[in-house]
Structure 1
């Protein structure tokens, strides 16, 4: 019993997951824990970000008065029932972005100035490209930037019900770039070693055979004779 006590104590203490906090003292949580958590609220995570859906509109139109989103791509003035007046629609940056850590991957929404900052574009230009011209945004620079960075993100988990269906969403409230390079970014961008093709092996063999026969050989000292 005395011998087993220290080992039991050690195994119990080592199984406790240490709490990781942000610089502001907020507890960090993994994406897997957020997805499985039943409670709504705000969370802090350290994750990589990626835009996997490149064919989304990246912006929406909303009422300039009440800010309510409208399901249209026509910017003409309309009578807003909530504002009780004729008003115009203005574009607002809004899109889906994927959050990745070593436990899981999830999708969150990012909008307004946060989205514009990430894309380095204003909402008017985004709407002109994706909705007016019906073109896709060029995201090569954004992909390259995101592939080498880790972010500390403040998330809100919320839910809403419609027609007996409950939908849970994640939205980014703020994000801040971390200073270290993510490990998985290296895995995504690293290139596999290419095996030699048969033609390359033949070239190497031909080159070796074509070496000059009078090349100076390596000097090897004579083996000393053993005395009887």
Structure 2
């Protein structure tokens, strides 16, 4: 078996906005890639020009420059503050169309408003580092972007160092994943541009600086870690009959009625305030969570089972958190207090209302 080919890709633009791919292979990567810096202008000569094989083409580019140790690269002084470059970005509301599609990727523009804790996980039987960043668009819609492994040591560190000034990023060739709804993640061919000197990025940065109060409220509420149906629902959303649901499906949409009048349950469980995992700790007692490894008080969280029914059958389901509280019309704390006092929740009106309503539901078969 031969030695795997290493490669480092670039995208070059000229003053008219024309693009070409640059690529460096193997030993030339160490010699040549450090000469080229993002957003700098160069005069490049003696590069080999060749067509890109169709199976390796991305971003509609068909020609590449192969840069080697024989290529001459001279930096050119540039006084232009804005690069004459335009990208085609996917709207956050359109991302669901690409969810879990391994054949397609997206480009997105967003301002980073927060960073979650960096973690080490096991992925594909090997250890990987990952950190989630919260992206926001001008419609104030947040989405989580996961940077993996080498992206953390480079672009990730730069983003973290600039968090106080709301860095704007262009995330290119990003995968759309199904994590608590719509989420984004890097893969081997992705690229992250931090505070690029282009017009759209400057405009988004200015918008963020004008709306710091709004952004701080979004960060404090942490709604971005919750399921967002606005990003997960397609305009022409197709639904599945309950009789056709299988455990191999990742997520599906169904139209069904709720019922839980016949199910005896307590409607809550004690959880870690941070990660919502169940715990045996008593209410308001601080403990070190076995899941998130952090120390937080135990709090009740709403959870109960329901039957979903359509014209083809019935399937059991569980509902958690704020969605469960809205459906129940009682908070988790109220449900706990009724349970501890051995008093049933007054749910007659809820059961009556549910019998006359049909819901569009996004569920995860297990």
Per the normalisation by structure 1, the TM-score is: 0.53
Q: Deviations over 1:50-97 (max 9, x none)?
A: 01444201011101233221246x325253253556532101111001
- Aligned with 1:99 (options 308, 312, 331): 308
Q: Which runs of 5+ in 1 are unaligned?
A: 1-21, 158-167, 169-228
Say if 2:272 and 2:298, in contact at 8 Å, map to a contact too.
yes
| SS at structure 2 position matched to 1:41 | coil
Say if 1:95 and 1:115, in contact at 8 Å, map to a contact too.
yes
The number of residue pairs the alignment matches comes to 133
| SS at structure 2 position matched to 1:125 | helix
Q: Which has the higher strand share?
A: 2
| SS at structure 1 position matched to 2:251 | strand
Q: How does 1:99-138 map to 2 (within 5 A)?
A: 99-130=308-339, 132-138=340-346
| SS at structure 1 position matched to 2:352 | helix
Q: How does 1:130-209 map to 2 (within 5 A)?
A: 130=339, 132-157=340-365, 168=366
**Structure 1 residues 31 and 61, CA gap change in structure 2 (3 angstroms):** same
In structure 1, the partner of 2:254 is 45
Say if 2:261 and 2:351, in contact at 8 Å, map to a contact too.
no
Task: Tell me: higher relative CO, structure 1 or 2? Use CA pairs within 8 A at least 6 residues apart.
Answer: 1
In structure 1, the partner of 2:240 is 29
Q: Which has the higher Rg, Structure 1 or Structure 2?
A: 1
Is 2:283 the counterpart of 1:75? yes
Per the normalisation by structure 2, the TM-score is: 0.34
Q: Tell me, in whole angstroms, the C-alpha distance in 2 between the residues paired with 1:38 and 1:92.
A: 26
- Greater mean deviation of Cα atoms: 93-102 or 148-157: 148-157
Q: Deviations over 1:178-211 (max 9, x none)?
A: xxxxxxxxxxxxxxxxxxxxxxxxxxxxxxxxxx
**Structure 1 residues 153 and 133, CA gap change in structure 2 (3 angstroms):** same
In structure 2, the partner of 1:196 is none
Q: Tell me, in whole angstroms, the C-alpha distance in 2 between the residues paired with 1:123 and 1:44.
A: 26
> Which 4+ runs in 1 deviate beyond 2 A?
52-55, 81-87
Q: Tell me, in whole angstroms, the C-alpha distance in 2 between the residues paired with 1:75 and 1:120.
A: 21
In structure 1, the partner of 2:212 is none
**Structure 1 residues 88 and 104, CA gap change in structure 2 (3 angstroms):** same
**Structure 1 residues 135 and 112, CA gap change in structure 2 (3 angstroms):** same
What is the Cα deviation at residue 135 of structure 1? Answer: 2.0
Q: Tell me, in whole angstroms, the C-alpha distance in 2 between the residues paired with 1:141 and 1:156.
A: 28
Q: Tell me, in whole angstroms, the C-alpha distance in 2 between the residues paired with 1:118 and 1:38.
A: 25
Q: Tell me, in whole angstroms, the C-alpha distance in 1 between the residues paired with 2:274 and 2:234.
A: 38
Q: Tell me, in whole angstroms, the C-alpha distance in 2 between the residues paired with 1:85 and 1:155.
A: 29
Q: Tell me, in whole angstroms, the C-alpha distance in 2 between the residues paired with 1:118 and 1:84.
A: 31
| SS at structure 2 position matched to 1:49 | strand
